Amino acid sequence: MERLSVIYSTALFDLAQQQNAVDEFLNQAIFLRDSLSDTDCKRMLDHPQITADEKHEFFRTVFKGKIHEDLLGFLYLVADRNRESYLIPALTELINVIEHYNGKVTAKVMSAAPFDENQTGSLRTILSAKLDKQVELDIKVDPSLIGGPYIFVDGYYLDWTVKKRLRDMTASMKELSHT
């Protein structure tokens, strides 16, 4: 699925660049992704008895005049080929590609406890300076980490969790016991 989503997003990004509409495509891709993520909408799109023509009519009614004609054409193409499951991943990938093109990245952060505003601001500032890009944070909480965060951003993975440190210590202890 990932491969086809990348192909779709790359084609859409190329269209956006050719038409000098990169920011327009970004805003509309976010709008589409959020709209199509609705449970009822997903149910309708995945329903095997709803025809491609009916889905075209739905897209036309809901999105015509609100999104670029090429994005509307993409929706039609996906419906025609019965590949509705690729819509959200392709739009998400398009958003990521455009944000990267615009010098923005999203850091996925997992932490044992929620960050306060100061911690969030400090982390964003540090990552932005290190990567020389505008960094958005997607912070989730997982108490099983015990303490500390791990961060995945722009191909880098940093793990400062207590859970990892305990695993490393256990591995070191095992290694020492075998010598």
The correct CATH number of 2-100 out of 1.10.10.60, 3.40.640.10, 1.10.520.20, 3.40.50.2300 is 1.10.520.20
Q: What is the pLDDT of residue 175?
A: 87
Q: What is the DSSP track for the chain?
A: -HHHHHHHHHHHHHHHHHTT-HHHHHHHHHHHHHHHTSHHHHHHHH-TTS-HHHHHHHHHHHHBTTB-HHHHHHHHHHHHTT-GGGHHHHHHHHHHHHHHHTTEEEEEEEESS---HHHHHHHHHHHHHHHTSEEEEEEEE-GGG-SSEEEEETTEEEE--HHHHHHHHHHHHHHHHT-
Domain positions in the chain = 2-100, 103-177
Q: What is the pTM of this model?
A: 0.72
What are the pLDDT tens digits along the chain (179 aa)?
Answer: 579 999 999 999 999 999 999 999 999 999 999 999 999 999 999 999 999 999 999 999 999 999 999 999 999 999 999 999 999 999 999 999 999 899 999 999 999 999 999 999 999 999 999 999 999 999 999 998 888 899 999 888 989 898 888 899 999 888 888 76
Q: What is the pLDDT of residue 176?
A: 86
Dist. CA 27–CA 32, nearest whole Å: 9
- Region 103-177: CATH code: 3.40.30
